[in-house]
């Protein structure tokens, strides 16, 4: 879910009986979004309250019993007939048992109460929100800013229209391409965390991203009970260096001198705290697909660059191809959703970077090269023959061939 459609999606869900759960990484603006929703409800003269479980008084009462929520709000009996009370709760994962909290309130008061809750870490939500909440909640995930949202935050709304023209018209040249390309380079380097985008200087951006790595990732690790914090960060940095590559748990275990199960748990935490995402390979045999190594991508390129301690512009980087592949991942994620994305690789090393499954039999395929001169069509003959319903296209920055998709046109 993005900022441009997020508020509207949450507004639509207000009419649904299920509680609304908004998740995403720390510092992405979840609180801002739900407070905008709060203002919308207040403008409609609804009964609304805002609470945060970072407040120890509130949290202590909730941990005693879920019904203590009403110590801070109107009592259910006082809600007018035919009306609902809307309560926004920030950082719901801090409750001792968020599952029981939500389940109790839904089962007892769903006709009069609508909760909109946020959680910074899906790790806690995933562990605690058990099957008993099926049908009682709808989860929405907030991502870092997409490129059009980045342009909006930079006050460059006219460039959004320019970018949209590029996507819609293959022969469109544009008059502001130089500015658009400069901002795209900044976006790739520093990512889409709102506060980072709004920072005035490169040094401020770098300091904020380093703080996200050192403070917020550390906080997640502490709250998750990670004992080997140094090795947890080493794993994150190794993954940042091999972005777009396959994750071999045994190899990582040997490198870090950690048990394979520990590496697996750390990978799980990195996913559930919205730092990384794994995509699985595509095979005709679904059983095979579920047993092969996944590829690693970061949900934000700025955070990835902070982990590698490199904020060089993409054109001057030695890892420009890997970084571009991560950028394409975040764009395809927005266009098609995480669950639709796969990759393809043969035993002899032939690979297609992204497969978009529109269904099991048809879709799209994309190969990513920084410079399309490095694209060798003969390498993809086996894929083209094996998957004729997945037409393959090349995505590049320096696109000279008319058949190549320039990254800004994707």
Q: Which two tokens stand for residue 401?
A: 């061939």
Q: How far apart are CA 139 and CA 393, in angstroms?
A: 33
Token pair 């890997």 is found at 322
pTM of whole model > 0.85?
A: yes
pLDDT > 70 fraction of the chain, expressed in percent and rounded: 96
Closest CA to 117 of 65, 49, 56: 49
DSSP string, 292-332: SPPEEEES-HHHHHHHHT----GGG-TTHHHHHHHHHHHHH
Residue-wise pLDDT tens digits, 3-35? 778 889 999 999 999 999 999 998 999 999 999
> Has residue 351 got a pLDDT over 70?
yes
Q: What is the pLDDT of residue 128?
A: 66
Return mean pLDDT, the chain. 91
Sheet strands (E) in 338-377: 341-345, 351-357, 363-368
Predicted local distance difference test score (pLDDT) of residue 146: 94
Instruction: Show me where the domains of the chain are located.
Output: 3-142, 147-409
Q: pLDDT tens for residues 83-107? A: 999 999 999 989 998 989 999 999 9
pLDDT bin (cut points 50, 70, 90) of residue 376 is confident
**Cα-flanking dihedrals φ and ψ of residue 272, to 5°?**
-75, -10
pLDDT above 90 (res 60): yes
Q: Are strands 19-24 and 113-119 parallel, antiparallel or unpaired?
A: parallel
Question: Would you say 236 and 189 are in contact if contact means Cβ atoms under 8 Å apart?
Answer: no
Instruction: Could you list the beta-strand ranges (E) of 103-220.
Output: 113-119, 137-142
Domain 3-142 has CATH 3.40.50.300: yes
Please list the helix, strand and coil fractions of the chain in percent, rounded to the nearest 5, in that order: 50, 15, 30
- pLDDT tens digit sequence for 241-277: 999 999 999 999 999 999 999 999 999 999 988 999 9
């Amino acid at each position: 879910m993005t900022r441009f459609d997020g508020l509207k999606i949450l507004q639509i869900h207000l009419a649904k009986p299920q509680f609304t759960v908004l998740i995403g990484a720390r510092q992405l603006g979840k609180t801002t979004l739900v407070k905008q929703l709060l203002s919308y409800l207040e403008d409609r003269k609804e009964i609304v309250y805002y609470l945060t479980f970072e407040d120890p008084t509130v949290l202590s009462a909730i941990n005693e019993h879920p019904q203590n929520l009403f110590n801070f709000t109107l009592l259910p009996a006082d809600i007018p007939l035919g009306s609902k009370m809307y309560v926004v709760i920030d950082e719901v994962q801090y409750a001792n048992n968020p599952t029981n909290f939500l389940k109790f309130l839904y089962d007892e008061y769903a006709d009069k109460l609508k909760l909109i809750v946020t959680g910074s870490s899906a790790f806690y939500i995933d562990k605690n929100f058990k099957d008993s909440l099926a049908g009682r909640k709808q989860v929405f995930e907030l991502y870092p800013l997409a490129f059009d949202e980045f342009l909006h935050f930079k006050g460059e709304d006219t460039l959004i229209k320019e970018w949209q023209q590029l996507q819609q018209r293959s022969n469109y040249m544009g008059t502001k391409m130089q500015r658009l390309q400069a901002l795209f380079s900044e976006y790739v380097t520093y990512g889409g965390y709102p506060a980072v985008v709004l920072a005035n200087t490169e040094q401020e951006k770098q300091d904020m991203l380093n703080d996200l790595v050192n403070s917020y990732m550390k906080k997640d690790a502490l709250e998750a009970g990670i004992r080997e914090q140094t090795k947890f960060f080493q794993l994150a940095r190794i993954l940042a260096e091999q972005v777009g590559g396959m994750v071999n748990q045994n190899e990582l275990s040997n490198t870090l001198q950690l048990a394979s199960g520990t590496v697996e748990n750390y990978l799980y935490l990195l996913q559930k705290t919205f730092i990384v995402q794994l995509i699985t390979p595509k095979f005709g045999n679904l059983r095979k697909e579920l047993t092969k190594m996944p590829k690693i991508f970061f949900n934000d390129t700025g955070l990835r660059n902070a982990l590698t301690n490199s904020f060089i512009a993409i054109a001057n980087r030695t890892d420009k191809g890997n970084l571009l592949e991560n950028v394409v991942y975040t764009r395809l994620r927005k266009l098609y959703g995480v669950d639709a994305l796969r990759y393809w690789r043969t035993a002899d090393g032939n690979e297609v970077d992204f497969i978009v499954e529109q269904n099991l039999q048809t879709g799209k395929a994309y190969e990513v090269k920084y410079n399309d001169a490095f694209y060798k069509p003969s390498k993809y003959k086996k894929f083209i023959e094996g998957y004729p319903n997945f037409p393959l296209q090349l995505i590049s920055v320096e696109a000279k061939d008319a058949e190549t998709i320039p990254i800004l046109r994707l």
